[in-house]
Structure 1
Amino acid sequence: MKIGIDARNLVRNLTGIGRYVLEMCRGLAESGNEIFLYLPEKPMPDLSRLSGATFRISSHAGDIRRLIWAHTTLPGQAARDRIDVFWGPAHRLPSNLDPHIPRVVTVHDLVWHHAASTMRLQGWLGDRLLMRPAIFSSDEIVAVSRSTADDIRTLYPSVSKKLRVVYPGLTSLSDGAASNVLADNGIDRDYVLFVGTLEPRKNLRNLLEAYALLAKSVRKDLLLVIAGGQGWRLGDLRERIARLEIEPDVRLTGYVADGDLAALYRRARLLAMPSLYEGFGFPLIEANAVGVPALTSNVSSMPEVAGEAALLVDPTNVQEISTAMGRLALDNTLHSLLAEKARLNGLRFSWKKSASEMAAVFESAIAARKG
């Protein structure tokens, strides 16, 4: 198939959705499909792993210009390339796409509906206004988890027949054996690892308060390492850490590249991901792949993705988060049991399988548009 893809999520540093787009594109290309990537501007990340793809790079930097690009330049390029199917991998489809072109949209989450207060206004408006028309105009809808599929089905029951669940795969992160991230950040003992953009939905405030509730004797041997780029509406994180009097025991690494992230996962005692809402949750399976168990929330997709490799907590209950953190830090029997299950859980997710299932969805969309 000739597959056209809205690749705007590959422009910036790769976070969850960007990594999803990159890996899915690579899997689709490796299985013999012809990939056309449409980007509003030159990408920052190294996309050499997609060397077999055709890139259509425009000069539409900035939010407003990118929006205009998506509904003018991109549809024209897709029509000229005579693609067999168009894929919007993140909640959007061009409104002016040639009506003969089959189209598929992936929905990662419905944060705008379920956790609107945790979003930036611009992102909330974008999803609220653009996700619905993409869902209704698509020939097939892909949800990244059963939880997300249920959310879509509840909000838009009439689209249930064209709704499919295709799990993302597990990315094999670059070997971090030569990484200096631990030494550079003074990480010199066991630690709880948080990975993600520093934004309200990730529930960092409650995580910090839960960590502060641990006995000093526990914190002395268990750092809290926060790895992620600065997001929004968290105020001064360092000031909050100082106010909780846990500054000596917390490390803020900022955004880290894959090699450093691999090293952080490999050495972690546990992953802490007590998010308020997630459509999937890549850190859960990335940690699981190296035998690291998780503490995560009992809401949305997290129980589904974590399987039996995590302790589940109410993300609004600081004491519950703290208690679970303490158990995973101190109970070696429990930790070993969950670590063993973690590796098995990671094996459930494969990009090769994901790409194969996505290709089947594209074929179904082509058949639906012809019919």
Structure 2
Amino acid sequence: MRIAVNARILLADKLEGMGKFTHEVLRLLVVQHPEHEFFFLFDRPYDAQFIYAANVTPIIVYPPARHPFLFYVWFELMLPRVLRQIKPDVFFSPDNFTTLRTHVPRVTVIHDLAYLHFPAEKKFFDRRYYQKFMPRFAEASRLILTVSEFSRKDIMKSFHLPPAKVKVAPCGVSDFFKPTLFAQQIEIRQKYCAGEMYFVFVGALQPRKNLVTLFKAFDAFKNLTRSEVKLVIVGRKAWKANAIVKAYEAMTHKTEVIFTGRVSDAEVRQLYGSAVALVFASLFEGFGLPILEAQKCDCPVITSTTSSMAEVAAESALLVDPLSPEAICQALVQLYHYPERRDYYIRRGRENCCRYTWQQTADLIYQGLQESLEIPKISS
């Protein structure tokens, strides 16, 4: 099988949700299936670490596509030319988008439909691109894969698709994530929090991550407990972060909040493993990978009742209404004051992680690629 892959999201030291998914899945597919040829289509010079084996042929397809106008040029003008040249059996695109201008069977991973539920988050041209092309991408794809049952139902309902066309390939969690040794915990707390305990948030700073409500909840927690516990915010400042900055500036205890910016995966692992708990009370997620990463590091998790997060965490996390600062505050208090509750969620988190492996994800993706060649195009 000749498999063309949209690899434009594989960026060294910049892998977030979709990037981690793409990296973990492709690494396993390439190494475990040397009988197949893979053509990785990048939109800029690539890092050699992503050429996982000799059966990968990297191809740079310009221009770099990071703006809706360039999305169109890359996916609808340049990509079809390359597909005609390499003549693949299937085109696999793991980043929500695909091309409309090819007869090659397409397998597309649509992680979520956040743009439909939170349209104000997107810049004008991004929003218009998503609104115009996402339904067409769904229609044109031979098979759609997504990362949770929540997203599967959302995609089917929103795009009026038959159940057979949309399947779930949930995220996994890497063995890279593991508990932090006690001595390292002390070092991390000293480095970031002057030796004090802390709660941690991990993710890009954008409105949907609900940091405005988290800041209110943390202020209430500090007022209630009078503790020295800090809040560590790990991640890059993403789009439309002004409201987050304003909420932070309005905090009573803003000096107790530490922003690390983007840090290495090794540092993230230790920040998980040294925290009182991960607070991931997002408004909407297609999956919510930090939930599993934290649990793999023996870090208790507070997460939302909404979208996919309750599904991913099952009963292994403390679930809260993300719109309620009071509910989040009470969860913080519970895990701070009661070590036995932390121990309970650590144990449940270990059990939950066993349900998710990247090997399972890769196997489901591979099955989808094979099926795409056996079935006719499924229309709505």
Return the offset for 1:366: 0.6
Write the distance in 2 (CA, Å) between the matches of 1:185 and 1:283.
20
Return the offset for 1:152: 1.1
The residue number in structure 2 matching 1:286 is 293
TM-score (norm 2): 0.90
The residue number in structure 1 matching 2:7 is 7
Q: How many correspondences in the alignment?
A: 368
> 1:167-182 alignment to 2 at 5 Å?
167-173=170-176
Relative to structure 1, the CA distance from residue 143 to residue 239 in structure 2 (aligned partners, 3 Å threshold; closer, same or farther) is closer
1:158 is paired with a residue whose SS is coil
1:253 is paired with a residue whose SS is strand
Letter in 2 for 1:104: V
Note if 1:111 corresponds to 2:114: yes
CA contact 2:4–2:92 (8 Å) conserved in 1:
yes
Note if 1:346 corresponds to 2:353: yes
CA contact 2:189–2:274 (8 Å) conserved in 1:
no
Letter in 1 for 2:362: A
The residue number in structure 1 matching 2:81 is 76
The residue number in structure 1 matching 2:373 is 366
The residue number in structure 2 matching 1:132 is 135
The residue number in structure 2 matching 1:29 is 30
Letter in 2 for 1:127: Y
Note if 1:254 corresponds to 2:261: yes
Question: 1:149 is matched with which residue: 148, 152, 156?
Answer: 152
CA contact 1:42–1:59 (8 Å) conserved in 2:
no
Mean Cα displacement is larger for which, 62-71 or 313-322?
A: 62-71
Note if 1:295 corresponds to 2:302: yes
CA contact 1:11–1:42 (8 Å) conserved in 2:
no
Q: Deviations over 1:341-360 (max 9, x none)?
A: 00111111111111111111
Question: 1:224 is matched with which residue: 196, 207, 231?
Answer: 231
2:144 is paired with a residue whose SS is strand
Return the offset for 1:339: 0.6
Q: Give ranges in structure 1 of 5+ residues lacking alignment.
A: none
RMSD of aligned C-alpha atoms? Answer: 2.3
Write the distance in 2 (CA, Å) between the matches of 1:230 and 1:65.
23
Mean Cα displacement is larger for which, 324-333 or 78-87?
A: 78-87
Relative to structure 1, the CA distance from residue 140 to residue 237 in structure 2 (aligned partners, 3 Å threshold; closer, same or farther) is closer
CA contact 2:212–2:248 (8 Å) conserved in 1:
no
Note if 1:89 corresponds to 2:90: no
Return the offset for 1:233: 2.0
Relative to structure 1, the CA distance from residue 206 to residue 25 in structure 2 (aligned partners, 3 Å threshold; closer, same or farther) is same
Write the distance in 2 (CA, Å) between the matches of 1:219 and 1:368.
62
Mean Cα displacement is larger for which, 46-55 or 83-92?
A: 46-55
Write the distance in 1 (CA, Å) between the matches of 2:210 and 2:108.
28
Write the distance in 2 (CA, Å) between the matches of 1:307 and 1:234.
30
Q: Deviations over 1:188-238 (max 9, x none)?
A: 222111000000000000001000001447463321000010012222755
Relative to structure 1, the CA distance from residue 134 to residue 276 in structure 2 (aligned partners, 3 Å threshold; closer, same or farther) is same
Write the distance in 2 (CA, Å) between the matches of 1:237 and 1:166.
32
Write the distance in 2 (CA, Å) between the matches of 1:328 and 1:304.
21
Relative to structure 1, the CA distance from residue 147 to residue 219 in structure 2 (aligned partners, 3 Å threshold; closer, same or farther) is farther
Relative to structure 1, the CA distance from residue 332 to residue 28 in structure 2 (aligned partners, 3 Å threshold; closer, same or farther) is same
Relative to structure 1, the CA distance from residue 152 to residue 236 in structure 2 (aligned partners, 3 Å threshold; closer, same or farther) is closer
Question: 1:54 is matched with which residue: 54, 57, 72?
Answer: 57
Relative to structure 1, the CA distance from residue 234 to residue 368 in structure 2 (aligned partners, 3 Å threshold; closer, same or farther) is same
Q: Deviations over 1:19-55 (max 9, x none)?
A: 1111111111122143211111124x66346244221
The residue number in structure 2 matching 1:269 is 276
Question: 1:189 is matched with which residue: 196, 200, 211?
Answer: 196
CA contact 1:191–1:225 (8 Å) conserved in 2:
yes
Question: 1:209 is matched with which residue: 205, 209, 216?
Answer: 216
Q: Give ranges in structure 2 of 5+ residues lacking alignment.
A: none
